[in-house]
Amino acid sequence: MDAVGNEELVSTIEVVIDKFAAECRPYAVELCVRLVSLNLLNEIKIK
Protein backbone atom coordinates (compact mmCIF):
# COMPACT_ATOMS: atom_id res chain seq x y z
CA MET A 1 0.00 0.00 0.00
CA ASP A 2 1.21 3.48 -0.66
CA ALA A 3 0.34 5.73 2.27
CA VAL A 4 -1.20 3.14 4.58
CA GLY A 5 0.56 0.02 5.82
CA ASN A 6 -1.03 -3.40 5.51
CA GLU A 7 -1.35 -3.82 9.28
CA GLU A 8 -3.32 -0.60 9.64
CA LEU A 9 -5.61 -1.52 6.76
CA VAL A 10 -6.22 -5.02 8.11
CA SER A 11 -6.93 -3.65 11.58
CA THR A 12 -9.41 -1.12 10.21
CA ILE A 13 -11.21 -3.72 8.09
CA GLU A 14 -11.50 -6.03 11.11
CA VAL A 15 -13.12 -3.24 13.15
CA VAL A 16 -15.55 -2.32 10.37
CA ILE A 17 -16.58 -5.95 9.84
CA ASP A 18 -16.97 -6.54 13.60
CA LYS A 19 -19.17 -3.47 14.06
CA PHE A 20 -21.12 -3.62 10.80
CA ALA A 21 -21.25 -7.33 9.93
CA ALA A 22 -24.89 -7.29 8.80
CA GLU A 23 -24.39 -4.19 6.67
CA CYS A 24 -21.21 -5.63 5.09
CA ARG A 25 -22.85 -8.93 4.12
CA PRO A 26 -24.07 -7.78 0.66
CA TYR A 27 -20.52 -6.66 -0.16
CA ALA A 28 -18.67 -9.63 1.34
CA VAL A 29 -17.84 -11.45 -1.89
CA GLU A 30 -16.49 -8.38 -3.67
CA LEU A 31 -14.58 -7.33 -0.55
CA CYS A 32 -12.94 -10.76 -0.34
CA VAL A 33 -12.06 -10.70 -4.05
CA ARG A 34 -10.41 -7.31 -3.65
CA LEU A 35 -8.57 -8.33 -0.48
CA VAL A 36 -7.26 -11.43 -2.25
CA SER A 37 -6.02 -9.26 -5.10
CA LEU A 38 -4.12 -7.19 -2.51
CA ASN A 39 -2.88 -10.34 -0.72
CA LEU A 40 -4.53 -9.19 2.51
CA LEU A 41 -7.23 -11.81 3.05
CA ASN A 42 -4.88 -14.24 4.77
CA GLU A 43 -3.96 -11.55 7.33
CA ILE A 44 -7.55 -10.92 8.50
CA LYS A 45 -8.86 -12.98 11.40
CA ILE A 46 -12.64 -13.27 11.08
CA LYS A 47 -14.35 -14.19 14.32
pTM (predicted TM-score): 0.57
Q: Which domain holds residue 38?
A: 6-43
Spatial neighbors of 38 by CB under 8 A, at least 6 apart, are: 1
**pLDDT score at 43:** 64
**pLDDT score at 33:** 87
Q: Is residue 1 part of a domain?
A: no
- Closest of 10, 12, 29, 9 to residue 20, by C-alpha: 12
Domains in the chain, number: 1
List average pLDDT for each run of 10 residues in the chain, which is 47 residues long. Answer: 69 90 91 79 62
**pLDDT score at 11:** 87
The answer to whether the Cα torsion of 47, 33, 17, 42 is positive or negative is positive
